[in-house]
Amino acid sequence: MTTSIKALVDVIRKAFGGGRKSYVVTGKGEEVKTQFEVVDASELLISNHLDGRINEAYPQELQPRDRTRFSSKLQVNKISRSLRPTQLTDSGLSSHGTPIIGEDNAVESGNGRSMGIIRAYAEGGADDYRAFLIKHARDYGVRASDVERMERPILVRRRLTDVDRVQFAKDSNLSDIQEMAASEKAFVDAESITPAMMQLFAPSESGDLLAFSNAAFVKAFMEEIGATASAGLLTEDGRPTRQLIDRMQNSIFAKAYKDSRLVKLVSEEPDPDMRNVLTALNVAASDFAQMVMLSGDVHRDTVGSLVDGAGEATALNETALSALKDAIDLVRQSKETGQHIQDVIAQVGMFEEATDEAKALAIFIVGNNRSAKRMGRAFKLMAERIKDELIHQQQAMGDMFGGGSVSLQEVLELVSEQMEAEGGKGFAGALFESSKKGGDPVLPVLRNASNVQGMKRIIEALTLDSTGSVETLGAAVQAAIRTLIMTALGDAAALKRYQVLTASILGKKLDEFTAKYGRYSLYDLKSFHSAHLFKQADWSALFNSGQIFQLHDLIQLVMANAAERPKVIAAAREAYPVIKKVIGRSRTLTHGYVSAMELMLPQYPPIDVHRAVVKASSDKGESALSATSVYFEVIKDVELGRELMAAGGVADDVSDTRAQHAESVEKIKANIYKLSERDNLVVKSLPYELRTVFPNLQALAPVREKAVFGKAYGKRVSITPWLERYQPQNIRQHASAVSADSSLVGEILNELADMAEHHQRATNQLCEKLWSVAQDIIDRSDVTEAEAAEWIKGIKISKKAITAIDGKHGDGAFMMALTDIYRLCRGGISTLKEITYREKARASACVNDGSVCLSSRADLGVLWHEVGHHFEYSHPDRLEKAKAFINSSEDGGLIDLGGREIAINVNFSDPYIGRLYGSKTVAGTRSTEIFSMAFQCLYEPRYAGNSLLNGDGVMEYVLGLIKGEHNA
């Protein structure tokens, strides 16, 4: 049946030969036989497309992981950018090495690895992998010529042992399960919990999973997840750890409630205020799990019996679970907003549907949230009554007179009666209480209006009287905003409906509103941060325009999908024009703007949201900092830097060195005052640079710990220039030469030599500790060496520049420095495009062409210095912060550095740090030397020691800023 000789050869090879056989072991210890094979990427059937979307052609029961999650996309990106062929070949574990495929080419283990290899091919980064397969083809029993013929060859292992594919896929992911998100892991574990296991589930009334009554379930659960995983979840004496308890808890929730919201609530986002609710759900989990399994049986029996209305057979349990989930959402919303549960229910009722049962359950939970036992009892009774009804339906399948089905409201009424009979409080009354108008007649009626004008008339009729309800109006607007948030930017019809409604309710002018209700009434608009501080601009942006709320999906993408850079940048660029219009030319974050961000994305601080959008909106971005906010940002960075210095032992060393120098200065000054006329003649015979030490030291003000090391460089109050200028041995030689003529001068010089020697030793030690602080940031960076290598590949680098640096510091020093810089900066360098070399040129950096120029005199410190300029160039916020940092010091006028270079004379250890570019003012300078000099300090002890000992704060500020960007 083959169409060619080549096809016939392929068939024979696969049938009688093929690749080398390989045995693998699953996470549960099962041995499976496989065979190596090379297939083209187009032939593989993977679980997800490269953008994360589920592949409909793939049998999803073989994929235990949610590969649409952001963390999974990050994993695939990481694999694609750092392909290591040897790690993608042989392995004794089914969870590692070459992907394993079935007879239909579906990947059963290694979807993430497969996707990473395919992405690498798509991005042009798989050349080394392909070359490796060709070179080592014989090692795996395949032919190099076969690999060469394929455009995108991938080495796989085809499973030969007949197994339960679903179980094999799950067992092969057991080691990966350890790295899954807790909610992901919960649904995988839940599939392993059988009805027989659920029969063993018997926690105490307080929900304790480790109760003696539940021991059999704990044992069964540990056996099911495998010995390897269990071993890591037990203490040395064999007791379950907190991790095991949490894992069991999460799997039970997944099994019982089948809802990612509840599983995440208990596993990933535990709220202390909701713990009793969670405990109550846990108490009832077994009953709900049995209810869910029973409903499946009923559904199968119904379909099998061909009874009409099969969907109704499962309607009751689904309605109950839905109502319970919605009730908990209402309770959480009440807690998060600080509103009474009735107010939350009223607001939800305006534009969204919430069943009376969900409202009743929410009211019951709030009324009993201090008693997990009472809530747990109610939930158990609820599940038991539904199970009884499901059993009744199952028995009545063949009986046409079996009777009508029971509604959830009737179930709740039965539960309420039993609760009351047991001496507790029921919640049947809440079924009617939740739908009463109560004291707020507006919202329930407003939904009956057929158009906006109808809404306006209802509001005017019911609330705009002498005791008008501003809080009701605020609730109506909040509901309208929530509806608008669900629309996309550009949905003009939705925006128009919102604008007409809010104008009808609140009016177009702030002064009109306050004239009617008083400014104090703005406090009742509880949804909005600092509403009492609103100005007309806030009013217009939020209520009259409202377009800011349509940015929700775009901003959420920016905040949650950092790895999808093209999509993030596109979303930020679409959102930023609206943001810029709202905040105006001053770029000050208004109260209304901050309130909008809090309302849309309450999980993120508004300033972080704004900064992320601005940063992603363009390669260089646009500064988001006002004069006020930048000042506080600088203070925060300096404080964080001080914490880093203290933790790294730098602060203690600085203090000790200052104290020792202060003591030495006191001794020297005391001896200078003793100098006789003859001694002074000896002093005059000293070299000029050494001779000037005497009057300068004598002129120092009374020594305090920090006075020794200068403020105001122009006054030359620092002694470090003299301590650096001479080698201690040279000073001692002069001391020896003059001691015969003046023992006192000799003593002073020897003391100065000791001081210089200690200073040089201390600066070296300070530089080493400073580098340790930076190295710790690098080690903790989420930017990998592989990602840094990709960045370096994009830079055009002169070979002479590399040779010049490596010749002084050793092979590989140049590339290692660039790698460290990029990781230290968390990848925040986007402007550097080229590193050139000129033999006798002065080293420089240029933002216009994205270059750095090095010369034969350049060393690692110079490389760090010039790339440090590009750290500042890469985002305007950094320039604004650097200017603010300079302005925070005492202004001492300007210093002429020579060669038409001008610096601001502030409290820096080196005047060059204050250099200005293209302007004689800090505000007008187009760049600074703050970051570049700080980067150079990391490699040059002289600069590092002077900065730290003189207390100019440069290193504290820069490292604090960088650490803050890592923490963001």
Helix (H, G, I), strand (E, B) or coil at 896: strand
Q: Which of 180-194, 646-660, 697-711, 910-924 has the lowest mean pLDDT?
A: 697-711
Query: Which carries the bigger pLDDT value, residue 240 or residue 640?
Result: 640
Q: Which of 119-123, 349-353, 693-697 has the highest mean pLDDT?
A: 119-123
CA dihedral over 75, 77, 81, 84, signed as positive or negative:
positive
Angle between helices 182-192 and 215-225 (to 10 degrees): 100
Query: Which carries the bigger pLDDT value, residue 190 or residue 783?
Result: 783
The pLDDT-based confidence of 628 (bands split at 50, 70, 90) is low
Query: Which carries the bigger pLDDT value, residue 718 or residue 281?
Result: 281
pLDDT at 348 over 70: no
Q: Which of 514-518, 685-689, 752-756 has the lowest mean pLDDT?
A: 514-518
Mean pLDDT of 562-586: 76
The pLDDT-based confidence of 426 (bands split at 50, 70, 90) is low
Query: Which carries the bigger pLDDT value, residue 474 or residue 212?
Result: 212
The span from the CA of 350 to the CA of 347, in Å, is 6
Q: Which of 287-301, 471-485, 760-774, 944-958 has the lowest mean pLDDT?
A: 287-301
The string of DSSP codes covering 173-239 is: THHHHTTS-HHHHHHHHHHH--HHHHHH----TT--TTSGGGHHHHHHHHHHH-HHHHHTTB-TTSP
pLDDT at 406 over 80: no
Count the Cβ atoms, other than its own, within 10 Å of residue 329: 18
The span from the CA of 338 to the CA of 526, in Å, is 9
Helix (H, G, I), strand (E, B) or coil at 156: strand
Note whether 859 and 942 are within 8 A (CB). Answer: no
Q: Which of 96-100, 280-284, 939-943 has the lowest mean pLDDT?
A: 280-284
The pLDDT-based confidence of 99 (bands split at 50, 70, 90) is very high
Q: Which residues are CB-contacts of 160 (< 8 A; sequence separation ≥ 6)?
A: 21, 32, 33, 34, 35
Strand order across the beta sheet in which 844-846 lies: 796-797, 834-837, 851-854, 844-846
pLDDT at 678 over 50: yes
pTM above the 0.85 mark?
no
User: For 48-74, what is each residue's pLDDT tens digit?
Assistant: 888 778 888 888 888 876 666 555 666
- Helices and strands counted in the chain (H then E): 47, 12
The span from the CA of 375 to the CA of 270, in Å, is 18
Q: Residue 869 has what pLDDT?
A: 95
The pLDDT-based confidence of 844 (bands split at 50, 70, 90) is very high
User: For 874-927, what is each residue's pLDDT tens digit?
Assistant: 888 899 999 989 887 655 678 888 778 888 877 788 889 999 998 888 888 999
Q: Which of 103-107, 137-141, 301-305, 824-828 has the lowest mean pLDDT?
A: 301-305
Q: Residue 309 has what pLDDT?
A: 31
pLDDT at 714 over 90: no
Note whether 534 and 540 are within 8 A (CB). Answer: no
The pLDDT-based confidence of 775 (bands split at 50, 70, 90) is very high
Angle between helices 785-793 and 70-81 (to 10 degrees): 60
Mean pLDDT of 780-790: 91
Q: Residue 228 has what pLDDT?
A: 45
Residue 865 main-chain phi, psi, to 5 deg: -60, -50
> Which DSSP category does 55 fall into?
-
Q: Which residues are CB-contacts of 243 (< 8 A; sequence separation ≥ 6)?
A: 233
> Which DSSP category does 849 fall into?
T
The mean of the pLDDT values for the chain is 77
Tokens describing residue 398 = 């063949």
The span from the CA of 342 to the CA of 347, in Å, is 9
Q: Which of 22-36, 264-278, 686-700 has the highest mean pLDDT?
A: 22-36
User: For 328-338, what is each residue's pLDDT tens digit?
Assistant: 888 877 777 66
Q: Which residues are CB-contacts of 665 (< 8 A; sequence separation ≥ 6)?
A: 697, 700, 703, 708, 719, 755
Mean pLDDT of 203-227: 76
Note whether 526 and 338 are within 8 A (CB). Answer: yes
Q: Which residues lie across from 837 on neighbouring strands? A: 854
pLDDT at 403 over 80: no
pLDDT at 715 over 90: no
Tokens describing residue 594 = 């901050």
Q: Residue 418 has what pLDDT?
A: 77
User: For 358-388, what is each residue's pLDDT tens digit?
Assistant: 888 888 888 777 777 888 888 888 888 887 7
Strand order across the beta sheet in which 894-898 lies: 894-898, 901-904, 915-916
Helix (H, G, I), strand (E, B) or coil at 128: helix
Note whether 575 and 583 are within 8 A (CB). Answer: no
CA dihedral over 187, 189, 192, 194, signed as positive or negative:
negative
Query: Would you list the domain boundaries of the chain?
Result: 5-177, 442-624, 650-772, 782-967
Q: Which residues are CB-contacts of 435 (< 8 A; sequence separation ≥ 6)?
A: 356, 359, 444
pLDDT at 298 over 50: no
pLDDT at 653 over 80: yes
pLDDT at 599 over 90: no
* Whole-Å CA distances, 630 to 610, 706, 887, 929, 952: 14, 28, 11, 18, 19
CA dihedral over 456, 462, 464, 470, signed as positive or negative:
negative
Residue 695 main-chain phi, psi, to 5 deg: -65, -35
- Reference 243, options 182, 192, 197; nearest CA is 182
User: For 488-497, what is each residue's pLDDT tens digit?
Assistant: 888 887 788 7
Query: Which carries the bigger pLDDT value, residue 892 or residue 604?
Result: 604
b/e map 509-529, b = 16+ CB within 10 Å: ebeebbeebeeebbebbebbb
- Reference 814, options 802, 827, 822; nearest CA is 802
pLDDT at 445 over 60: no
pLDDT at 345 over 80: no
Q: Residue 235 has what pLDDT?
A: 64
Mean pLDDT of 725-732: 82
